[in-house]
Structure 1
């Protein structure tokens, strides 16, 4: 009986994530794993600007595609880049000024900046945590949770989690930060032709989410209209 209850709870949790949500109306976020060798990022920049996103979270920002930050600078002048290797960095760009000290995690996991929206502090967090298997990503997860636990104010977390939205990794991060997944969650990456939902956005009140094209990457982009404050 207990096992059946657990299975049913897991099923309904997964189903809920696949359902549409109402737009939040407080902030629009565009998240994208660029793919380190991407050369089609000018089209991506056009798409980002056309959506009217307020903040952009980027992963796999490399020496080969870092020009994307320069192309975004006119519309998103407030930027932060954490370099973890020549092929892998995490970045974010915002229309809102950075109001405090930006943060980089010790190992590849997180780039974060504080901004002020409607007189309240909001942390914008771009995340890229390695696959849990076959990689040993425990230190990366610990770094992510350590950084997130220390942040005060509302958190908006977006990017490539390399884990399913109903996984323990995502569940722990949501619990630590009092956030909810925007929905509906949809596949953003194909592993040997199997579609997987790996890229998504968490915010205090959730929100609506849609998938954007690949634009030269192996990951689809995600655009979310989120709710920052829960009544």
Structure 2
């Protein structure tokens, strides 16, 4: 009988402690502004919240009502911050008279063994602009095959074997502008969309702390703060929408996330098609206030560990004659 009571005591203790253990990194992730290490925890908020709720169920079965209910309420509150992120102001519908364009966002994966699938995707969607990351030496010769369709190309140099960022466009770079690279983190080009220009940035950040993501953000900050006019930042941020990293970038660039929760990363192979349901949302498209009527679609996997995103958008307003058409040139000179 004594052994049975001891065993029951240990089971009850475990039923209380396991949710508490999940709650520690879950709560720490809300304080990402204090230190990048805490922001790293926020990337797993969705998964930790679900695990905490599930681990609280044994407490309810053992009639530990207060402990079980408190754990479930905390986990559901945390999950609500993920599933219902705050909507940034500025999203507006475009007049039907405005032309619509398409941008394809894709981390190619430097060693992708299904390169033909990528080109089939480009052929099917026929985007106006393509923002690419992990454009390795393995990819460069293959991409030359579509330069006739996308004659305006800009590649950033590789800082590692995984490659750099790139922009491929069917539409010309804006007159008087010069595309630039910020290290190999970001490729930036101002593109002429039939008389209205927009800045397109293809971005690839490092992983969160203890890796160099917070340093990356500080490196690109002065450039993003200077960009003016319609702006689209597309890329593999290696950061979730509710992270401090995304909050900082949207603040510096005066942009918003084009649409809500969009899981896009998971190991490729068997689990690739499950990425849009259980993967981490690491790929994003940020837009400024003159990029309107935005619609983002997650496409099928093409051999990468990231899913492609397709943005449909229009450009509102008329380019201001005082708007710095030399903006990218000015940035280049400031380096």
Normalized against structure 2, the TM-score is what?
Answer: 0.59
Distance 1:223 1:23 in 2: 18
Contact 1:23 1:227 (8 Å CA) reproduced = no
Do residues 144 (structure 1) and 220 (structure 2) align?
Answer: yes
Do residues 228 (structure 1) and 315 (structure 2) align?
Answer: yes
Structure of greater relative contact order (alpha carbons < 8 Å, 6+ residues apart):
1
Distance 1:16 1:139 in 2: 25
1:202 is aligned to 286
Give the structure with the larger helix fraction: 2
Distance 2:311 2:135 in 1: 21
Greater CA radius of gyration, 1 or 2? 2
Distance 2:209 2:108 in 1: 21
Distance 1:22 1:183 in 2: 12
Query: What SS does the corresponding residue of 2:232 show, helix, strand or coil?
Result: strand
- Counterpart mapping for 1:1-231 below 5 A: 11=80, 14-16=83-85, 26-83=100-157, 84-99=159-174, 100-106=177-183, 108-190=184-266, 195-204=279-288, 205=291, 207-229=294-316
Q: State the shift of 1:218 in Å.
A: 0.8
Instruction: Give the direction of change, closer, same or farther, for the CA distance of 1:16–1:28 in structure 2 (3 Å limit).
Output: farther
CA RMSD of aligned residues (A): 3.1
Q: State the shift of 1:23 in Å.
A: 8.4
Distance 1:230 1:13 in 2: 33
Gaps spanning 5+ residues in structure 1: where? 1-6
Distance 1:175 1:214 in 2: 31
Q: State the shift of 1:39 in Å.
A: 2.9
- Number of aligned positions between the proteins: 223
1:3 is aligned to none
Normalized against structure 1, the TM-score is what?
Answer: 0.83
Instruction: Give the direction of change, closer, same or farther, for the CA distance of 1:191–1:102 in structure 2 (3 Å limit).
Output: same
Give the structure with the larger strand fraction: 1
Contact 2:83 2:261 (8 Å CA) reproduced = no
Distance 2:148 2:120 in 1: 12
Distance 2:148 2:259 in 1: 30
Gaps spanning 5+ residues in structure 2: where? 1-75, 272-277, 319-335
Contact 1:182 1:226 (8 Å CA) reproduced = no
Instruction: Give the direction of change, closer, same or farther, for the CA distance of 1:163–1:176 in structure 2 (3 Å limit).
Output: same
Contact 2:131 2:235 (8 Å CA) reproduced = yes
